Amino acid sequence: MEKKPVYYLTPALLTIIIFASDFLSTDLFKAGYQNFSVWFVLSIFSFACGWLMNKTLGYNHGGKVVFAVIVASTFISVLMISIFSGYFGLSDLLVENLILYVLRNIMLGAMAFFGMALSEIIILQKENSPAKTKEDDSKKIIENAQREANLLIEEAKLKSDKMIYQVQQGMNDMIERKNQIERRLKEFIAAERELIKKYESDED
């Protein structure tokens, strides 16, 4: 797959989305439905970025790019929050707060991975669908060929049995004629003998 420079605008957009999540309130469920809706929209955007990256950059290369985006965004977020902790309302910079920001970045990155995975699954299903159809067609062709072969074998058996029956009938007819000829010859020879005996007795 050719990776054009314009394709890398999508990872840049994902970086902006992940970085923008740092400016949201950390009290996700305490802030009410409005804050949660913003998180939901960011998750949808991350999912769409992952979907688009799988289409443009491919699953393997796109996955590496998403991982690099997550690492870079997390590093920049931790560095920025550490420097401007007062702006983020963190008078005491606790490790728990940093972990919370890191987890939010990872969550949005995971949504991008989910979009890539779902897009790849759909692509693989579309690619495997013609192969499955061809496999089903080949199975039907094989079944039809076997059925035709069985019919030909049965037909050949019937013809061979018929030929054997006809040959046997012909042999029986020939044997019957031979026996008739032998009987007639014996009768003819017996009649000739009687004539010879009768002729000899008349001469005496």
* pLDDT tens digits in sequence order for the chain, 204 residues long: 556 777 778 888 888 888 777 777 555 544 445 566 777 888 888 888 888 888 888 878 878 888 888 888 888 887 877 777 666 666 565 666 777 778 888 888 888 888 888 888 888 888 777 766 677 777 888 888 888 888 888 888 888 888 888 888 888 888 888 888 888 888 888 887 888 777 777 666
pLDDT computed for residue 29 by the predictor: 44
Domain chopping of the chain, boundaries: 5-136
Q: What is the 3-state secondary structure (H, E, C) of the chain?
A: CCCCHHHHHHHHHHHHHHHHHHHCCCCCCCCCHHHHHHHHHHHHHHHHHHHHHHHHCCHHHHHHHHHHHHHHHHHHHHHHHHHCCCCCCCCCCCHHHHHHHHHHHHHHHHHHHHHHHHHHHHHHHHHHHHHHHHHHHHHHHHHHHHHHHHHHHHHHHHHHHHHHHHHHHHHHHHHHHHHHHHHHHHHHHHHHHHHHHHHHHHHC
